[in-house]
Amino acid sequence: MSEKPRKAPVRERKGKSLIKSRNAATSSAANIFIKLTFKEALELFVNAKKAEGMRPRTISDYYKHMEWFQRFLSEFYPDVKTIQQLTADIIRRYINYLRDERNPYAGNQAREKDTKGLAINTINIRLRTLRAMCRFWTEEDYLVENPMAKIKPLRKDTIDDMTGFTEKELKALFSVLDTRQYSNFRDKVIMLLLLDTGIRINELVNVQISHLDVKRLTLTIPAEIAKNRKSRTIPVSRKVMKLLLELHEENKQYFEPTEFLFLTAYGDQMLADTFRRRLWKYAEEAGIERATPHMFRHTFARDYLLAGGDVFTLQLILDHADIATTRRYVQMDENHVKEQHQRFSPASKYLK
């Protein structure tokens, strides 16, 4: 009887995988010996993120954050030219520099202040970018060790940037707008839409006329402009919708046809940073110490609940994946707490 053909020895299959593993290991080891400048390393990182579908604005932020980091290195560590020279101690020195020494508006004569140090949230955003880069370089074997591995985000105070505007501050802001000017009228509409819907400023500047449903009084934020890449539809009050349509009509009179609602004085699509700068000027004129687009979002969230709205609906409108985030948005001061207590205390109906 002839013997059945034997199966290929297992050791042969293992041998092939061992060869493959050795080749991969050799390739990885070769990467470690490649000295990359920060510019070269950034391009590798950006190319990978573009392949993952990262948005252009995020890519732009990567370049800005690296530029700021390299400015720090050129001033304090001029000999550090490659990512392989990066250490945890250098990054900690960078954090201290951002917190204690960096002027928030250095180089901007209109806004430059004597105060030093960036906001904790701003520092953590820059660290998040650096953390993502270092992790990528380590995983791709350009770094032996990740210098960001033991660097933690800065802790925030409980009373942080989660506050909104007071009624007095909002009245002061609107009072300085001369709506006879197109730019002031446009900015008023922006403020009112922010206040009416809690929309993010980066979503707002991408709103098009086709996103509005006048009959249903809704605004649809398509997935391509939404922060979380999920489409959502939010209600708009009748008066604000009317102003949006009025702005669109003025756009058609002054500029070339465009779908975008919010335009510059030259007819180009408005940028979020442009509105931030203009809002700062309005705040200065109105005597308000601090004003950011995101404060309108917090104001909307707070006042929505104070008016009787429920937190679950608010979560959907604000596009929060976690309701804990929605709760953090709602910072009530002492006056708001007292007001709500007076309105809703169970004891009040028994006291006459």
Mean pLDDT of the chain: 83
Please tell me the least confidently modeled range out of 1-5, 41-45, 130-134, 172-176: 1-5
Q: Among 30-34, 101-105, 161-165, whose mean pLDDT is lowest?
A: 101-105
Percent of the chain with pLDDT over 70: 78
pLDDT at 27 over 90: no
Phi and psi at residue 236, to the nearest 5°: -125, 135
Strands 232-235 and 212-213, bridge-based pairing: unpaired
Residue 301 pLDDT class (50, 70, 90 cuts): confident
What are the Cα distances from residue 129, in Å, to 45, 49, 87, 238, 294?
A: 11, 12, 16, 41, 21
The pLDDT, as a whole number, for residue 245 is 96
The 10s digit of each residue's pLDDT in 207-241 is 999 999 999 999 999 988 888 788 899 999 999 99
Distance separating alpha carbons of residues 100 and 116, to the nearest angstrom: 6
What's the CA gap between 301 and 305, in Å, rounded? Answer: 7
**The predicted structure's pLDDT at residue 150:** 92
Could you report the per-residue pLDDT of 267-281, keeping only the tens digit for each? 999 999 899 999 999
Average pLDDT over residues 136-140: 95
Per-domain residue ranges of the chain: 32-139, 167-337
Report field, pTM of the whole predicted structure over 0.85: no
Nearest to 38 by CA among 83, 93, 77, 71: 83
Kindly indicate whether the domain formed by 32-139 is annotated with CATH number 3.90.25.
no
Q: What is the pLDDT of residue 22?
A: 47
- Judged against a pLDDT cut of 50, whether residue 13 lies above it is answered with no
Answer whether residue 81 shows pLDDT above 50: yes
Contacts of 195 (CB under 8 A, 6+ apart): 170, 296, 299, 300
**Poorest-confidence range of 19-23, 189-193, 310-314, 333-337?**
19-23
Report the DSSP beta bridge partners of residue 260. Answer: 208
Residues 275 and 201 sit within 8 Å (Cβ to Cβ): yes
Q: Which CATH superfamily is domain 167-337 in?
A: Intergrase catalytic core (1.10.443.10)
